[in-house]
Amino acid sequence: QVQLQESGPGLVKPSETLSLTCTVSDYSISSGYYWGWIRQPPGKGLEWIGSIYRSGTTFYKPSLKSRVTISVDTSKNHFSLTLSSVTAADTAVYYCARDQDSGTSYRPKGFDYWGQGTLVTVSS
């Protein structure tokens, strides 16, 4: 059973950078699949932030692209999210998840394993 666990600060100041890590257990990231970050602001719906392949190839939501970086460390079997210049609008529960797509061309086939989610609040 693949397990994912998000970690990182729960409080970030406005204009600073949000950083989260997703540690994967019982599956090697280097074996394949795409790995993604999704968030849910309080009282709102799910929003895809971006995804990364084992090779390090990344795909980002266009409106967030200028502020987002997703990276992977296969030696530690984790992938990370950084979001710069945060505002209160970035307050959300952040989830990491595995996409069933295992091909070399990104064709999302659904996130089948999810982390528990971590609440990140942007506030001074």
Partner 1 sequence: QSALTQPPSASGSPGQPVTISCTGTSSDVGGYNYVSWYQHHPGKVPKLMIYEVSKRPSGVPDRFSGSKSGNTASLTVSGLQAEDEADYYCSSYAGNNNLVFGGGTKLTVL
From the list 46, 39, 32, the residue with the least C-alpha distance to 99 is: 32
Report residue 49 as tokens: 């932030």
Q: Which residues bind partner 1 (CB under 8 A)?
A: 36, 38, 45-48, 51, 59, 61-63, 95, 97, 100, 106-112, 114-117
- From the list 4, 7, 28, 2, the residue with the least C-alpha distance to 119 is 7
**CB contact at 8 A, 83 and 91:** no
Strand partners, 99: 34, 111
> What is the nearest approach in angstroms of partner 1 to the Cβ of residue 110?
3
Q: Which is nearer to partner 1, 63 or 75 (CB)?
A: 63
Nearer to partner 1, 3 or 15 (CB): 3
Shortest distance in whole angstroms from residue 124 CB to partner 1: 27
In whole angstroms, how close is the CB of 92 to partner 1 at the nearest point? Answer: 13
